[in-house]
Amino acid sequence: MTTFESVFAAFASGDGELYKILGLTVCMTLLSTGFSVLTGFPAGAVLASLSFPGKKLLRRIIQTCMGLPPVVAGLFVFLLLSRRGPMGSLQLLFSLPAMVIAQFILIFPIVTSLTLAAIESRQKAINQTISTLGLPRYKKYLLLLWECRGSLLTVVLTGFGRSLSEVGAVMMVGGNIQGKTRVMTTAIMLETSKGNFGAAIALGLVLLILAFLVNVIANHFQEAQND
């Protein structure tokens, strides 16, 4: 893979390395976005519904973490997972789980904060009716999430986009090891550093096409829901 054309030729010929990079990228992105959604949706819904001392401060902290520099998240996970770190015995550094953990730290605050905002904007209208129904608490949260599903899809796509485009943290904790932790963004960095700008641009295009396809599929489901 040294030129623009060679990247697409490699795709067309079923180049194993390229498909492995693509597969790992998709796998890492889905896992980190999935974990963030599974925890961020309930966290945002609960935060939106509850009033407690320190809620404003907690909200500011989560919002601040939305802008957490990837290298800081990467450094944190690196120290956590390095051989002398508190979780060093797990030997996860320079592996897919390490990359997913780093990305989770970046995406969870985004998903939580945006979910909180999405639910808060609609919960006043919904809550008056929900509170009259005598539903168990978990059902109230499920209904709230269901009614905000349009906004929440945007939250998922935002998290997915952040995960797909992230490079600093996955480079630090993944190490860009060929066949093991190399993903699209770290491959682009590698090609750029080698001066293979055509290949880097082509990989970038593939990444964009991937993001476009995910958005098309997500919007298709959203439109089907609205019909």
CB of 214 to other proteins, least distance (A): 24
128 binds other proteins (CB under 8 A): yes
Least Cα distance to 116 among 40, 65, 53, 61 occurs for: 40
Q: Report the residue from 145, 147, 153, 192 that binds other proteins according to the rule CB under 8 A.
A: 147
CA distance 109 to 184: 24
Q: Report the residue from 143, 145, 211, 218 that binds other proteins according to the rule CB under 8 A.
A: 143
136 binds other proteins (CB under 8 A): yes
Least Cα distance to 76 among 63, 85, 66, 89 occurs for: 85
Helix 16-49 to helix 149-165 angle (10° resolution) is 140
Q: How far is CA 78 from the centre of its chain?
A: 19
Interface segment toward other proteins; rule CB under 8 A; list 32-40, 72-80, 146-154, 210-218: 146-154
79 HSE (CA, 13 A, CB side): 5
Q: Which residues of 141-159 are buried (b: 16+ CB within 10 A; e: fewer)?
A: beebbebbeeebbebbbeb
Amino acid at 152: L
CB of 181 to other proteins, least distance (A): 42
14 binds other proteins (CB under 8 A): no
19 binds other proteins (CB under 8 A): no
* Size of the residue set binding other proteins (CB under 8 A): 14
221 binds other proteins (CB under 8 A): no
CA distance 147 to 165: 29
CB of 129 to other proteins, least distance (A): 4
Taking the least distance from each CB to other proteins, the nearer of 20 and 149 is 149
CB of 50 to other proteins, least distance (A): 18
Q: Report the residue from 38, 60, 61, 146 that binds other proteins according to the rule CB under 8 A.
A: 146
51 binds other proteins (CB under 8 A): no
134 binds other proteins (CB under 8 A): yes
CA distance 156 to 17: 29
219 HSE (CA, 13 A, CB side): 6
120 binds other proteins (CB under 8 A): no
Taking the least distance from each CB to other proteins, the nearer of 64 and 225 is 225
Footprint of other proteins on this chain (CB under 8 A)?
125-126, 128-130, 132-136, 143, 146-147, 149
